[in-house]
Structure 1
Protein backbone atom coordinates (compact mmCIF):
# COMPACT_ATOMS: atom_id res chain seq x y z
CA UNK A 1 0.00 0.00 0.00
CA UNK A 2 1.26 3.48 -0.82
CA UNK A 3 1.07 7.00 0.56
CA UNK A 4 -1.41 7.79 -2.22
CA UNK A 5 -3.99 5.57 -0.49
CA UNK A 6 -3.74 7.58 2.75
CA UNK A 7 -3.92 10.90 0.87
CA UNK A 8 -7.00 9.72 -1.02
CA UNK A 9 -8.74 9.18 2.34
CA UNK A 10 -7.48 12.16 4.35
CA UNK A 11 -7.13 14.74 1.60
CA UNK A 12 -4.33 16.96 0.40
CA UNK A 13 -4.70 19.98 2.71
CA UNK A 14 -1.40 21.23 4.09
CA UNK A 15 -1.05 23.88 6.79
CA UNK A 16 1.94 26.13 6.13
CA UNK A 17 3.55 29.27 7.51
CA UNK A 18 6.20 31.67 6.23
CA UNK A 19 9.71 31.43 7.74
CA UNK A 20 9.68 35.06 8.90
CA UNK A 21 6.63 34.54 11.15
CA UNK A 22 7.29 34.13 14.86
CA UNK A 23 7.57 30.95 16.83
CA UNK A 24 4.59 32.14 18.88
CA UNK A 25 2.47 32.44 15.73
CA UNK A 26 3.43 28.89 14.77
CA UNK A 27 2.52 27.66 18.27
CA UNK A 28 -0.90 29.34 18.02
CA UNK A 29 -1.43 27.79 14.60
CA UNK A 30 -0.67 24.32 15.99
CA UNK A 31 -3.09 24.89 18.85
CA UNK A 32 -5.88 26.35 16.70
CA UNK A 33 -5.61 23.60 14.07
CA UNK A 34 -5.01 20.82 16.62
CA UNK A 35 -1.99 19.55 14.73
CA UNK A 36 1.53 18.55 15.76
CA UNK A 37 3.56 20.27 13.06
CA UNK A 38 3.28 22.94 10.41
CA UNK A 39 5.29 23.17 7.21
CA UNK A 40 7.43 26.21 6.62
CA UNK A 41 7.24 27.52 3.04
CA UNK A 42 9.00 30.46 1.45
CA UNK A 43 7.12 30.51 -1.87
CA UNK A 44 10.11 29.28 -3.84
CA UNK A 45 10.47 25.71 -2.58
CA UNK A 46 7.84 23.05 -1.92
CA UNK A 47 9.17 22.66 1.65
CA UNK A 48 11.56 25.09 3.35
CA UNK A 49 11.32 23.47 6.77
CA UNK A 50 8.99 22.13 9.40
CA UNK A 51 8.23 23.32 12.92
CA UNK A 52 6.83 20.83 15.40
CA UNK A 53 5.69 20.87 19.00
CA UNK A 54 9.02 19.30 19.87
CA UNK A 55 10.92 22.15 18.14
CA UNK A 56 8.92 24.72 20.09
CA UNK A 57 9.61 23.02 23.42
CA UNK A 58 13.34 22.87 22.63
CA UNK A 59 13.40 26.56 21.67
CA UNK A 60 11.65 27.66 24.87
CA UNK A 61 13.84 25.38 26.96
CA UNK A 62 17.02 26.85 25.45
CA UNK A 63 15.99 30.51 25.07
CA UNK A 64 13.07 31.07 27.41
CA UNK A 65 9.80 32.75 26.54
CA UNK A 66 11.65 35.29 24.37
CA UNK A 67 11.96 32.55 21.74
CA UNK A 68 8.25 32.99 20.99
CA UNK A 69 8.96 36.45 19.52
CA UNK A 70 11.78 35.21 17.27
CA UNK A 71 11.42 34.17 13.60
CA UNK A 72 10.53 30.51 13.46
CA UNK A 73 13.19 29.98 10.78
CA UNK A 74 15.66 30.16 13.65
CA UNK A 75 14.19 27.04 15.28
CA UNK A 76 12.63 25.03 12.44
CA UNK A 77 14.01 21.76 11.14
CA UNK A 78 15.46 22.70 7.76
CA UNK A 79 16.43 19.22 6.55
CA UNK A 80 13.01 17.69 5.98
CA UNK A 81 12.57 14.12 4.80
CA UNK A 82 9.88 13.93 2.11
CA UNK A 83 8.22 11.14 0.18
CA UNK A 84 6.12 10.77 -2.96
CA UNK A 85 2.60 9.43 -3.36
CA UNK A 86 4.11 6.17 -4.63
CA UNK A 87 6.20 5.62 -1.48
CA UNK A 88 5.11 2.53 0.42
CA UNK A 89 3.59 2.89 3.87
CA UNK A 90 6.27 0.54 5.21
CA UNK A 91 9.01 2.83 3.86
CA UNK A 92 7.36 5.87 5.49
CA UNK A 93 7.05 4.01 8.81
CA UNK A 94 10.72 3.00 8.62
CA UNK A 95 11.83 6.58 7.85
CA UNK A 96 9.75 7.96 10.74
CA UNK A 97 11.09 5.36 13.15
CA UNK A 98 14.73 5.74 12.12
CA UNK A 99 14.60 9.55 11.98
CA UNK A 100 12.45 9.91 15.11
CA UNK A 101 9.99 12.31 13.45
CA UNK A 102 6.22 12.16 13.06
CA UNK A 103 5.42 14.09 9.88
CA UNK A 104 6.46 13.55 6.26
CA UNK A 105 5.55 16.01 3.49
CA UNK A 106 4.51 14.46 0.17
CA UNK A 107 6.17 16.08 -2.85
CA UNK A 108 5.47 15.22 -6.49
CA UNK A 109 7.18 16.91 -9.42
CA UNK A 110 8.49 19.70 -7.23
CA UNK A 111 5.01 20.43 -5.82
CA UNK A 112 3.79 19.86 -2.28
CA UNK A 113 0.69 17.66 -2.49
CA UNK A 114 0.10 16.61 1.12
CA UNK A 115 1.53 15.55 4.44
CA UNK A 116 1.44 12.22 6.24
CA UNK A 117 1.55 11.99 10.04
CA UNK A 118 2.33 9.04 12.27
CA UNK A 119 -1.35 9.11 13.24
CA UNK A 120 -2.36 8.63 9.59
CA UNK A 121 0.04 5.70 9.27
CA UNK A 122 -1.14 4.04 12.49
CA UNK A 123 -4.80 4.48 11.51
CA UNK A 124 -4.09 2.90 8.12
CA UNK A 125 -2.14 0.01 9.66
CA UNK A 126 -4.90 -0.69 12.21
CA UNK A 127 -7.47 -0.82 9.40
CA UNK A 128 -5.26 -3.29 7.53
CA UNK A 129 -4.90 -5.50 10.62
CA UNK A 130 -8.65 -5.43 11.24
CA UNK A 131 -9.35 -6.39 7.62
CA UNK A 132 -6.89 -9.28 7.87
CA UNK A 133 -8.46 -10.48 11.13
CA UNK A 134 -11.95 -10.30 9.59
CA UNK A 135 -10.76 -12.27 6.55
CA UNK A 136 -9.41 -14.99 8.87
CA UNK A 137 -12.67 -15.05 10.87
CA UNK A 138 -14.66 -15.34 7.62
CA UNK A 139 -12.40 -18.14 6.40
CA UNK A 140 -12.74 -20.07 9.66
CA UNK A 141 -16.54 -19.61 9.65
CA UNK A 142 -16.83 -21.14 6.16
CA UNK A 143 -14.36 -24.00 6.74
Structure 2
Protein backbone atom coordinates (compact mmCIF):
# COMPACT_ATOMS: atom_id res chain seq x y z
CA UNK A 1 0.00 0.00 0.00
CA UNK A 2 1.23 3.48 -0.89
CA UNK A 3 1.35 6.37 1.57
CA UNK A 4 -0.95 8.41 -0.69
CA UNK A 5 -3.62 5.72 -0.29
CA UNK A 6 -3.38 6.02 3.49
CA UNK A 7 -3.69 9.81 3.31
CA UNK A 8 -6.92 9.45 1.30
CA UNK A 9 -8.55 7.77 4.32
CA UNK A 10 -7.60 10.60 6.70
CA UNK A 11 -8.70 14.16 7.22
CA UNK A 12 -6.88 16.31 4.67
CA UNK A 13 -6.10 18.95 7.29
CA UNK A 14 -2.50 19.12 8.47
CA UNK A 15 -2.50 20.88 11.83
CA UNK A 16 0.43 23.18 12.43
CA UNK A 17 1.67 25.63 15.03
CA UNK A 18 4.08 28.54 14.90
CA UNK A 19 7.48 28.52 16.57
CA UNK A 20 6.35 31.34 18.88
CA UNK A 21 3.43 29.48 20.42
CA UNK A 22 3.86 28.12 23.93
CA UNK A 23 4.00 24.48 24.92
CA UNK A 24 0.76 24.77 26.89
CA UNK A 25 -1.00 26.23 23.82
CA UNK A 26 0.13 23.22 21.81
CA UNK A 27 -0.96 20.79 24.52
CA UNK A 28 -4.43 22.36 24.47
CA UNK A 29 -4.46 21.97 20.68
CA UNK A 30 -3.54 18.30 21.12
CA UNK A 31 -6.40 17.85 23.59
CA UNK A 32 -8.98 19.76 21.56
CA UNK A 33 -8.18 17.92 18.31
CA UNK A 34 -7.41 14.50 19.81
CA UNK A 35 -3.94 14.47 18.23
CA UNK A 36 -0.39 14.06 19.47
CA UNK A 37 1.74 15.62 16.74
CA UNK A 38 1.96 18.92 14.87
CA UNK A 39 4.13 20.52 12.22
CA UNK A 40 5.89 23.73 13.18
CA UNK A 41 5.67 26.30 10.38
CA UNK A 42 5.09 29.94 9.52
CA UNK A 43 3.24 29.27 6.24
CA UNK A 44 1.18 26.42 4.71
CA UNK A 45 3.31 23.51 3.49
CA UNK A 46 6.45 24.75 5.24
CA UNK A 47 8.13 22.61 7.89
CA UNK A 48 10.56 24.17 10.36
CA UNK A 49 10.25 21.17 12.67
CA UNK A 50 7.71 19.02 14.47
CA UNK A 51 6.42 18.65 17.99
CA UNK A 52 4.93 15.56 19.60
CA UNK A 53 3.46 14.69 22.98
CA UNK A 54 6.72 12.92 23.71
CA UNK A 55 8.71 16.11 23.00
CA UNK A 56 6.48 17.98 25.46
CA UNK A 57 6.99 15.29 28.13
CA UNK A 58 10.77 15.49 27.66
CA UNK A 59 10.58 19.28 28.04
CA UNK A 60 8.73 18.94 31.36
CA UNK A 61 11.30 16.42 32.57
CA UNK A 62 14.15 18.73 31.50
CA UNK A 63 12.82 22.17 32.41
CA UNK A 64 10.19 21.46 35.07
CA UNK A 65 7.63 24.17 35.74
CA UNK A 66 9.16 26.43 33.07
CA UNK A 67 8.19 24.03 30.26
CA UNK A 68 4.55 25.08 29.77
CA UNK A 69 5.51 28.68 29.02
CA UNK A 70 8.45 27.83 26.76
CA UNK A 71 8.23 28.56 23.05
CA UNK A 72 7.74 25.71 20.60
CA UNK A 73 10.96 26.77 18.83
CA UNK A 74 12.89 25.96 22.01
CA UNK A 75 11.83 22.31 22.17
CA UNK A 76 10.71 21.32 18.65
CA UNK A 77 12.31 18.44 16.81
CA UNK A 78 14.41 19.75 13.93
CA UNK A 79 15.42 16.29 12.73
CA UNK A 80 12.14 15.50 10.99
CA UNK A 81 11.41 11.98 9.77
CA UNK A 82 9.79 12.19 6.33
CA UNK A 83 8.50 10.03 3.51
CA UNK A 84 6.86 10.74 0.16
CA UNK A 85 3.35 10.03 -1.03
CA UNK A 86 4.82 7.33 -3.31
CA UNK A 87 6.54 5.35 -0.55
CA UNK A 88 5.24 1.94 0.46
CA UNK A 89 3.88 1.16 3.92
CA UNK A 90 6.73 -1.26 4.83
CA UNK A 91 9.22 1.57 4.20
CA UNK A 92 7.31 3.87 6.57
CA UNK A 93 7.18 1.07 9.15
CA UNK A 94 10.95 0.69 8.93
CA UNK A 95 11.41 4.46 9.35
CA UNK A 96 9.27 4.39 12.48
CA UNK A 97 11.23 1.46 13.88
CA UNK A 98 14.71 2.73 12.98
CA UNK A 99 14.09 6.32 14.07
CA UNK A 100 11.94 5.36 17.09
CA UNK A 101 9.12 7.68 16.11
CA UNK A 102 5.35 7.32 16.02
CA UNK A 103 4.79 9.92 13.30
CA UNK A 104 6.24 10.39 9.83
CA UNK A 105 5.69 13.63 7.93
CA UNK A 106 4.57 13.07 4.34
CA UNK A 107 6.16 15.33 1.77
CA UNK A 108 5.19 16.12 -1.81
CA UNK A 109 8.36 17.73 -3.10
CA UNK A 110 9.19 20.51 -0.63
CA UNK A 111 5.68 20.78 0.80
CA UNK A 112 4.35 18.85 3.78
CA UNK A 113 1.01 17.26 2.86
CA UNK A 114 0.15 14.94 5.73
CA UNK A 115 1.23 12.72 8.58
CA UNK A 116 1.24 8.95 8.91
CA UNK A 117 1.01 7.78 12.51
CA UNK A 118 1.67 4.40 14.07
CA UNK A 119 -2.11 4.14 14.50
CA UNK A 120 -2.61 4.58 10.75
CA UNK A 121 -0.04 1.87 10.07
CA UNK A 122 -1.66 -0.60 12.47
CA UNK A 123 -5.14 0.08 11.05
CA UNK A 124 -4.06 -0.49 7.47
CA UNK A 125 -2.04 -3.61 8.28
CA UNK A 126 -5.00 -5.02 10.22
CA UNK A 127 -7.33 -4.29 7.29
CA UNK A 128 -4.91 -6.09 4.94
CA UNK A 129 -4.73 -9.11 7.25
CA UNK A 130 -8.50 -9.31 7.58
CA UNK A 131 -8.93 -9.16 3.78
CA UNK A 132 -6.34 -11.90 3.36
CA UNK A 133 -8.02 -14.04 6.02
CA UNK A 134 -11.40 -13.62 4.31
CA UNK A 135 -9.96 -14.48 0.89
CA UNK A 136 -8.32 -17.66 2.27
CA UNK A 137 -11.51 -18.63 4.07
CA UNK A 138 -13.52 -18.11 0.86
CA UNK A 139 -10.97 -20.15 -1.10
CA UNK A 140 -11.09 -23.05 1.38
CA UNK A 141 -14.89 -22.99 1.45
CA UNK A 142 -15.03 -22.88 -2.33
CA UNK A 143 -16.86 -19.56 -2.37
CA UNK A 144 -16.68 -17.95 -5.84
CA UNK A 145 -14.62 -14.79 -6.21
CA UNK A 146 -16.45 -11.49 -6.35
Q: TM-score higher than 0.5 here?
A: yes
The corresponding residue for 2:118 is: 118
Q: Secondary structure at the match of 1:83?
A: strand
Alignment of 1:20-59 (within 5 A): 20-43=20-43, 46-59=46-59
State TM-score, norm by structure 2: 0.93
How far apart are residue 67 of structure 1 and its match?
1.2
Q: Which residue of 2 aligns with 1:71?
A: 71
Cα drift, residue 43 of structure 1: 2.4
Cα distance change of structure 1 residues 127 and 62 upon mapping to structure 2, 3 Å threshold: same
SS of 1:138's partner is helix
- Unpaired runs of at least 5, structure 1: none
- Is the partner of 1:116 in helix, strand or coil? strand
Structure 1 residue 108 corresponds to structure 2 residue 104? no
Q: Is the 8 A contact 2:50 2:77 kept in 1?
A: yes
1:127 aligns with 2:127: yes
TM-score w.r.t. length of structure 1: 0.95
**2: CA distance between counterparts of 1:11 and 1:111?**
17
After TM superposition, give the deviation of residue 42 of structure 1 in Å. 2.5
List per-residue Cα deviations over 1:72-121 (Å, max 9, x = no partner). Answer: 11111111011111010000000001111011111112122111111011
Following the alignment from structure 1 to structure 2, what is the Cα–Cα distance between the partners of residues 81 and 101? Answer: 8
Partner secondary structure for residue 83 of structure 2:
coil
CA positional deviation for 1:8: 1.1
Unpaired segments of 5 or more residues in structure 2?
none
The superposition leaves residues 60-81 of structure 1 with CA deviations (integer Å, 9 ceiling, x where unpaired) of: 1111121111111111111101
The residue that corresponds to 1:3 in the other structure is 3
Deviation at 1:39, TM superposition (A): 1.1
Pair 1:60-2:60 in alignment: yes
Answer yes or no: is the 8 Å Cα contact 1:19–1:42 preserved in 2: yes
